[in-house]
Amino acid sequence: MSHFRFRALPEWSIHVLVWALLVVKDVANMYYNPAYPVPKTAIATYWLLVIGYTSISAGAFYGSVFLVARPLLTVPLSWRQYSWALGGLLTTLLSIILWRYALEMHLFKPVLGFDNYSRNKTLTIAWFIRNSVFYYADYITYGLLYTFIKRHFINEQLRRETEQARTSAELAFLRSQLNPHFLFNTINDIYALVYCKSEEAPRALLKLSELLRYVLHEARHDYVLLARELDYLHSLIDLQRIGAKDNLYVNYQLQGSINGQMIAPLLLVSFVENAFKHGVLSDPLHPICLTLNLTETTLDFQLNNRKNQQHKDHTGGIGLANVQRRLALLYPGQHRLEVIDHPTDYHINLHLDL
């Protein structure tokens, strides 16, 4: 099956198309209007008349766009901008009046035989000016509306792009701070294994290499496959178990099926790392309890751990605040985070709409 990719038309081509459609409409209207004293066989005359009058309308429109509206787009506005806009308005009006007079009196009447004022016995300069302003003031208004609406959409697009860039930069900054504590501790643990010539040292280095590869390559994206994120979580637990010499008790349960769901990378990991940092790891009666309930569109994550009363690290760090900010940026209105901090226990309940 072939696929077609549609691209937005350039702005100038849209202008050409709109004016061409107006010309066709006015030609048809003039041709079938019995009030115009032009033979029906002289179809070329209709085209010349309509193109001529359309050029006056276009002059009013673009004069308004470039000479009247553009000075008013400067912020903050001053009397200089207002004076330039007023001068532009007068220049536009004078131009369309002179151009209309030149077309009607020196082309349409003597060459095409079309007199737009044959029934007007009181044609004066003042009447001609008032009539021209009356008929083409709407195109001046259209030019103003077009310019201001266009500028509104441009400003809105710039605002969204700026906000997206700021959000992307903030997310990149947050991701860059996710694992320093864990990394330093892991390196120390592996150093101890190497120093003791433990057979676990090569496996620990391999696990650390896998984790770093994930962080450096896949975790740079806003979303990754949930399966890859859980693989990372398993490797994290395995590496911690190696460092703890298998004296680590984690009760991990996964309910539901993994079927292509996506999630923000390194989101759940921060909670697990926090449990490793501040929790009791070696008590089989109080293991770290980690539960994931999955559906096709939701994830419920619960983590409970006993606090290590001998480990009084009050530096806090950026872990929880980091996760809360990333949730706000990536899952606005699509998450619910509950943190229960008891004197002896710590509980995390997170619901995500994937």
Say how far residue 120 (Cα) sits from the centre of its chain: 57
Q: 249: burial class by Cβ within 10 Å (0-12, 13-18, 19+)?
A: middle
Structure tokens at 141: 């208004």
The residue assigned the tokens 């995390």 is: 348
Q: What is the pLDDT of residue 8?
A: 64
Q: What is the pLDDT of residue 217?
A: 76
Q: What is the pLDDT of residue 280?
A: 87
Q: What is the pLDDT of residue 277?
A: 81
- Between CA 76 and CA 185 the distance in angstroms is 55
HEC states along 116-176? Answer: CCCCCCCCCHHHHHHHHHHHHHHHHHHHHHHHHHHHHHHHHHHHHHHHHHHHHHHHHHHHH
Name the DSSP class of 312.
-
- Between CA 193 and CA 206 the distance in angstroms is 13
C-beta of residue 72 within 8 angstroms of C-beta of residue 83: no
Q: Which residues, 6 or more positions from 15, have their beta carbon under 8 angstroms from its beta carbon?
A: none
Q: What is the pLDDT of residue 261?
A: 93
DSSP lists the bridge partners of residue 290 as 252, 303
Q: How many other C-beta atoms can be found within 10 angstroms of the C-beta atom of residue 198?
A: 15
- Between CA 313 and CA 321 the distance in angstroms is 16
Backbone angles phi, psi at 9, to 5 degrees: -70, 145
Amino acid at 206: L
C-beta of residue 50 within 8 angstroms of C-beta of residue 30: yes
Q: What is the pLDDT of residue 315?
A: 45
- Between CA 165 and CA 176 the distance in angstroms is 16
Q: What is the pLDDT of residue 288?
A: 92
- Between CA 271 and CA 288 the distance in angstroms is 11
Q: Write out the chain's pLDDT in tens, 354 residues.
A: 444 454 667 888 889 999 999 899 888 888 887 777 677 667 888 899 999 999 999 999 999 999 999 988 876 778 888 999 999 999 999 999 999 999 999 999 888 888 888 666 577 889 899 999 999 999 999 999 999 999 888 888 878 876 776 676 666 655 655 556 566 767 777 887 787 877 778 888 888 888 878 877 776 777 889 999 898 888 888 888 877 777 888 999 999 999 999 998 888 888 888 888 888 888 888 899 999 999 999 999 999 999 887 765 544 445 677 788 888 888 888 999 999 988 889 999 999 998
Amino acid at 324: Q
Strands (E), 205-255: 224-225, 250-255
N-to-C CA span, the chain: 31
Q: What is the pLDDT of residue 2?
A: 44
Task: Give CB contacts under 8 A, 24+ apart, made by 70-79.
Answer: 70/147, 73/147, 73/151
Q: 17: burial class by Cβ within 10 Å (0-12, 13-18, 19+)?
A: exposed
Amino acid at 22: L
Residue among 89, 8, 103, 7 at smallest CA distance from 49: 103
What's the pTM value of the predicted model, to 2 decimals?
A: 0.54
Strands (E), the chain: 224-225, 250-255, 262-263, 288-294, 298-306, 335-341, 345-353
Handedness of CA 163, 165, 168, 173 (dihedral sign): negative
